[in-house]
Amino acid sequence: MKTPSDLTPREAVRRYLDRRSTELSESSVRTYRYRLKLWVEWCEDENIERVEDLTGWTFEQFEAFRSGQGIASPTLHGEMETLKGHIEYLERIEAVDDGLADKVHVPDVPDSEMSRDTMLRPEDAEDLIRYYRTHDNVYGTRFHAALELAFHTGARLGALRGIDLRDYHSDEQFVEFVHRPETNTPLKNQRSGERSVSLLSEVCDAIDEFIAHNRPSGHDEFGRSPLFLTYHENRVSKNAFRAWIYRATQPCVAGTCPHNYDRETCDFRRHSTASQCPSSRAPHHVRTGSITWHRDRGFPPEVTAERVNASQEVIEKHYDKASQRERMELRRRPHLGKLEIE
């Protein structure tokens, strides 16, 4: 009878991913699968046939191999962190000796490298949104509605495309984010990602205009009525919604092109090439800018965390892009009066 220690690296990874799939989002499972696929292929190239053959030297060699391929420090950090979690699972099922996971080295990465510096700057977002709100030719378009909702909620791409008409409450001025994996709109943090987020009346006005005049009627393949549909009357895909945001955030929408391209002939104005515009931004960059904007506007950390569905620690480390000087001016200086000695 085959024992846990007889598992091949490939079999062990398959079992691990099967177990984790019940507690992780689909996107997280895909990330884990890709990272561990590299580990399995390396093990097979090195003729490592059973997990009981793994040692600290094995992990050291794998880390050196991946590092030698010139990958970025955060990428190596993520791969080794995932591998460590996998080895902890093997310890739990007694496939390897206790303590083996401690021999997996997860390299430290400076915060400046771990965080993502690219974002839709709050001042740029404000300029774009002011333009959309004051120009009839773009007011209430899909680009306008998508940007308004993305920037004011700080929501992730998957959460935004998963909104149904029933989730948007114009009169009460809020939107619900609901985990519906059975009909292909899961939330990253599953049930814990469900929340209601309040909206300003100006945001609701833009969404109402979109629904009334620019939203195609239709249902998805599950009979649901998405807020955002394509003109083929299907729920917008992630790639399509991403392209909408790229188009919505191009600076030439509200002003002159900073790269001196002619707006009328620029190749980047097309749906398929919008992402190549040097100044357009992806949904994640909008989320990053939104979180920084919330913080700079004085939103308490715990309120921001609940609104965008991220821990305060993650927000501080990965999303909040205000500089030290900006933090002093925008967040701390207004509180100086509390320190006055009467």
What's the CA gap between 88 and 100, in Å, rounded? 8
pLDDT, greater one: 300 or 209: 209
Q: Is a pLDDT exceeding 70 seen at residue 338?
A: no
According to the model, what pLDDT value does residue 102 have?
Answer: 93
What's the CA gap between 251 and 185, in Å, rounded? 31
Ranges 175-179, 221-225, 227-231, 318-322: which has the least confidence? 318-322
According to the model, what pLDDT value does residue 319 have?
Answer: 66
Asked if 267 and 301 touch (Cβ cutoff 8 Å), the reply is: no
- Average pLDDT in the 77-84 region? 91
- Average pLDDT in the 177-190 region? 95
What's the CA gap between 115 and 74, in Å, rounded? 9
- Average pLDDT in the 71-97 region? 90
Taking the complete model, does pTM exceed 0.85, yes or no? no
According to the model, what pLDDT value does residue 151 have?
Answer: 96
Place 258 in a pLDDT band, splitting at 50, 70 and 90: confident
What's the CA gap between 136 and 133, in Å, rounded? 8
Which CA distances in Å does 283 have to 26, 38, 89, 156, 209?
19, 28, 34, 7, 22
Q: Give Dmax over CA atoms of the chain in angstroms.
A: 80
Q: In the block, which residue shows the tokens 């006005």?
A: 205
Cα–Cα nearest to 185, from 19, 31, 322, 25: 25
Cα–Cα nearest to 159, from 196, 118, 212: 196
Q: Is a pLDDT exceeding 80 seen at residue 25?
A: no
What angle do the packed helices 122-134 and 142-153 form, to 10 degrees?
A: 140
Secondary structure element (H or E) that encloses residue 174, with its range: strand 174-177
According to the model, what pLDDT value does residue 341 have?
Answer: 44
Torsion on CA atoms 29, 191, 158, 169, rounded to nearest 10: 170
What's the CA gap between 148 and 152, in Å, rounded? 6
Tell me the two tokens of residue 191. 């049930």
Which CA distances in Å does 322 have to 38, 121, 145?
36, 10, 26
What are the tens digits of pLDDT across the range 89-126?
A: 999 999 999 999 999 999 887 655 444 457 898 889 99
Sequence-distant (≥ 6) Cβ neighbours of residue 295 within 8 angstroms: 301, 304, 315, 320, 322, 331
Mean pLDDT score of the chain: 87
Enumerate domains of the chain plus CATH numbers.
4-113 (1.10.150.130), 122-290 (1.10.443)
According to the model, what pLDDT value does residue 3 have?
Answer: 84
pLDDT, greater one: 164 or 24: 164
What are the tens digits of pLDDT across the range 7-19?
A: 999 999 999 999 8
Q: Is a pLDDT exceeding 80 seen at residue 132?
A: yes
What's the CA gap between 264 and 299, in Å, rounded? 40
